[in-house]
A and B are shown apart, each in its own frame.
Chain A
Amino acid sequence: MTTPNLVEKLTAKAGLVSATVRCVASMDEAMAYVADVCVGKEACQILASGCDAPLSGTAEALCETKQDKIICAPEMPDEAMAALSAHCAERGVKLITSGMRAHLGGIDIGLTMAAAGIAETGTVVIRSLNEEVRLASMIAEIHIAVLPARAIVADSYALEPRLVEWMGQPDFTAFVTGPSRTADIERVLALGVHGPLELHILILEDK
């Protein structure tokens, strides 16, 4: 399969599980998108809980831990960071690259670089030996992953040799397919039970 076909397939499959997929021509375009999504998002509240929901004291207290709009972007390439800081500064968004444990109540956007994509299931593969990367993709209300088009493979078997190589030392790698979901109450689908409520995949076109 050629790359355009894999991109198409991944886009279609990811769409089926409520992920948002965009193709971007440059890293700068990708970063502008990230900042836009953050600005377009509701106020600085913890969207996930719907702050109108009545909560117990402890749960309520978490709200206090978050007062700004925050993007956490650990381990992004320098080029991306430069672009993103510029966009964030312009739009008044706080950008951090570490210290996620101070934000366990939630952040607006966790930005990660995907190591691979799996077309067959619309999956992004996130390597996160770095704890900050791990947390960014779990704690955020919106997880945005940048996925280079050439890193997309047809199916999980095609990724096997690389995965095995990664597993040769301490490693934490995840296949992420769509946002967090549950159907535990009356089998009704609800998104964002513990993990992100939204997953955006930005496919970075090959140059």
Chain B
Amino acid sequence: MQDATTLKEYRKQLREALENDFQRQALDNFAVAYRTSRANAFADIDAPELIAEIAAAKDESIGRLEELFQEFKRHAEAAGTKVHLAATAHEANEIIARIGKENNVKTIVKSKSMTAEETHLNDHLEAQGFEVTETDLGEWIIQLRHEGPTHMVMPAIHLSRYQVADLFSEVTHKQQDVDIQKLVKVARRELRPKFCQADMGISGANFAIAATGTIGLITNEGNGRLTTTLPRVHVALAGVDKLMPTLHDALRIIRCLPKNATGQAITSYVTWITGTVPCEPSPRGTKVKHVVFLDNGRLAMARDPEFKQVLRCIRCGACANVCPIYRLVGGHKYGHVYIGAIGLVATYFFHGREKAKNLVQNCLNCGACKAVCAAGIDLPTLIKEVHARIQDEEGHPLYSTAVGQVLKNRKLFHTMLKSARLLQKPITGGTPYLRHLPMFLFKDQDFRALPAVADEAFRDKWERIKPRVADAKLKVALFSGCVQDFVYPEQMEAAVAVIASKPGVAMEYPMGQSCCGLPLQMMGEKQAGRELAAHNMNAIDAQDFDYIVTMCASCASYLKHGYKRLFADDPAMAYKAAQFAHRVIDFSSFVRDVLGITDESFTGPSKKVTYHAPCHLCRGLGVTEAPRALLGEAGLEYVPATEEDVCCGFGGTFSVKFPELSKELLGKKLANLKATGATAMATDCPGCIMQIRGGFEAEKTPFEVRHVAEYLAERLKRK
């Protein structure tokens, strides 16, 4: 459970987590294995279609939770189940404790329930004198260790067999073997008497089907079945978001959940319970059964246009499985009760701002979670939204407001960049890198060399290099982004040369353009971001152009998807943003798909080039083929790298705020690139270039890191 009160303390905890070698290795192994098993599990299924169906069906239910609750209650009560709705976590706990007392319950067995973790049910029941035993193996282990879960599906993934053996030796007062198969059997035997003796069983519910008043439980171990069968009282605790109209909705989710969670086709057990069933030890011969639905902010959330998506979550845990940060630090540092990407969002709503405010900053915006989410939730955007909300509520940090002010004022920002060029002279030593960094300014940044600002910005060269096209068939605006404009103008020049190699394309570089605004979103400065977006849409009148081409994957994805979202509440601006977004295209897709450049344009000796897939290109825009194919067209030998689409750790302002994490991710990226045997790498994002080139430079490894446009430009046939 993450409990740091300041960002500084949080960073300290993160550093400690990074030193946990066992956990690092376990999560690494899992991340790699997960990819393959998930792909295999979905081999015969159209995953995007299934995910879209789930999202649509969940949205439907979320719109009518109150009505579904009434319908469920009617059917369940007709079949003998008592149904409750608890407004708060405390109320839910109280209801359950009361049921216990009314039925003279002493001992309780529990099968895994995230909702019960959310309400801290065990603490409450224990304080009231009940004896509570978790029966899911992983949950039991962490209960005995007095810890929270570190993964939604595998709560004890952070522990080694040695730790478990020690724990079990303590519990049984006998020395236990470290053999996993034996440890599992010990747990089976130790827990069996608990099941036999328990008066009450508490379970969660994966589904609550309104049409029949049925709950559905999915488990692998079978503890859910024993918990709901042996004791004479059964209470199921579930979020109201588990309500769905029909069985079909549940069957659809079952097709997806286990596959997305662990790569299983289906779990060992899916149990459907309707009403009260015969139960021998119960005085009346049938089970005493209650279903408690927890609101705890969900019904309000269901009315929030932005955040109602959160209620689509089916708790598969996949968003943690693929998150590069979760993989580094584990669930105790990457969530409060709910972990992973969904935890970053849910914590704010279910556990409050204090618990969420540090966590929510720790996101690269890499989009891996969104791409894998079983319910199609736009997690990275929601994480940034929570960040923005917290800042609006708590007051914005000084630096963040200041950056917002500067970026909003294009002239001021550009003047500052130009003066930086003069100021940096003493620290570059005439190289393209900032050499002796003033350490008080850039603490912990020495894992990568930072580039110096170029002598002349692209915007200042434009009039000189602009190709004059007489009869234009295509009109194109270039959007450079700040980094290419001021730090890497050569990437822009290369792009211009490549585009100009096809006749009939008129290019404009609208001078009024400024930063795309993504850094402001990353910092939670939503209002300043809106102003900046409006500014750019004025500077580049979309109506005048067929395409707006950008060489920066992050800018492209933000211009295309982010702008529309910024103005969701302003129809006129939203329309304008949609017009604008419609024309935005990334460089590689433009060159390959629109201009149709082929191998005839290129010449020169081949060499091995590997590739890094920028998050905002491969996931943000879904562009995967174009850049790789272009390298081939240009006659280069493309050598794939391992985990090519895993984030390099740049994440814009992220790498300044969390340098330790950025460094680890970069280290892994460099190792994967080196392992290809190539000594050159192409990519489509200046941010990634800054990070990766800087990393190689810092460790003094000769490795060429350039934009795809540069590789193409240098191999263009001269006319």
Contact = CB atoms under 8 A, between A and B. Distances in A.
Interface in B245-271: 246-248, 251, 254-255, 262, 265-271
Contact of A59 (B80, B190, B246): B190
B93 interface: no
Nearest to B160: A186
A103 B176 CA distance: 27
Contacts of A13: 265
A171 B277 contact: yes
Contacts of A62: 189, 192-193, 196
Contacts of A138: 222, 225-226, 229
Contacts of A166: 274
Contacts of B141: 184-185
B598 interface: no
Contacts of A176: 268-269
B30 interface: yes
B212 interface: yes
B191 interface: yes
A77 to B, nearest CB: 21
Contacts of B211: 164
A174 B188 contact: no
A188 B175 CA distance: 21
Interface residues of B, number: 79
A76 interface: no
Contact of A193 (B137, B230, B266): B137
A104 B26 contact: no
Contact of B188 (A135, A177, A193): A193
A55 interface: yes
Contacts of A16: 265
A58 interface: yes
Nearest to B225: A138
Interface of B: 26, 29-30, 33, 79-80, 135-138, 141, 154-157, 159-161, 164, 171-177, 180-193, 195-196, 209, 211-212, 214, 220-223, 225-226, 229-230, 246-248, 251, 254-255, 262, 265-281, 286
Given A56-B172, A62-B193, A121-B265, A180 B221 contact: yes
B189 A194 contact: no
Given A160-B248, A194-B135, A170 B226 contact: no
A131 B190 contact: no
B275 A170 contact: yes
Contacts of B279: 131
A101 B280 contact: yes
A168 interface: yes
Contacts, number: 220
A120 B272 CA distance: 19
A157 B253 CA distance: 12
B180 A190 contact: yes
Interface string A104-142: 111000000000000011110000011100110010000
A15 interface: no
A185 B180 contact: yes
Interface in A143-194: 156-157, 160, 163-164, 166-188, 190, 192-194
A115 B29 CA distance: 40
Q: Which of A16, A104, A179 has the most CB of B within 10 A?
A: A104
Contacts of B157: 184, 187
A172 B273 contact: yes
A170 B222 contact: no
Given A49-B188, A56-B173, A163-B272, A195 B266 contact: no
A59 B189 contact: yes
A169 B156 CA distance: 38
A25 B535 CA distance: 78
Given A134-B229, A180-B220, A193-B137, A174 B272 contact: yes
B192 A59 contact: yes
A17 B268 contact: yes
B268 A167 contact: no
B277 A170 contact: yes
A181 B268 contact: yes
Contacts of B277: 129, 131, 134, 170-172
Contacts of A40: none
Interface residues of A, number: 63
Given A58-B193, A187-B157, A190-B181, A179 B137 contact: no
Given A163-B272, A172-B229, 18 more contacts: A48-B189, A54-B172, A62-B189, A131-B229, A138-B226, A170-B79, A175-B270, A177-B267, A182-B137, A182-B138, A182-B184, A184-B136, A184-B137, A184-B154, A184-B157, A186-B26, A194-B135, A194-B192
B184 A170 contact: no
Given A167-B214, A182-B220, A193-B137, A49 B186 contact: yes
Contacts of A173: 271-272
Contacts of A55: 172, 174, 186, 189-190
A72 interface: no
B188 A167 contact: no
B338 to A, nearest CB: 19
A187 B229 CA distance: 28
A201 interface: no
A188 B522 CA distance: 38
A157 B137 contact: no
Contact of A174 (B156, B192, B269): B269
B274 A167 contact: yes
A1 interface: no
A46 interface: yes
A56 B185 contact: no
A83 B506 CA distance: 88
A192 B189 CA distance: 11
A194 B227 CA distance: 11
Contacts of B185: 48-50, 53, 192
Contacts of A183: 154, 220, 262
B182 to A, nearest CB: 6
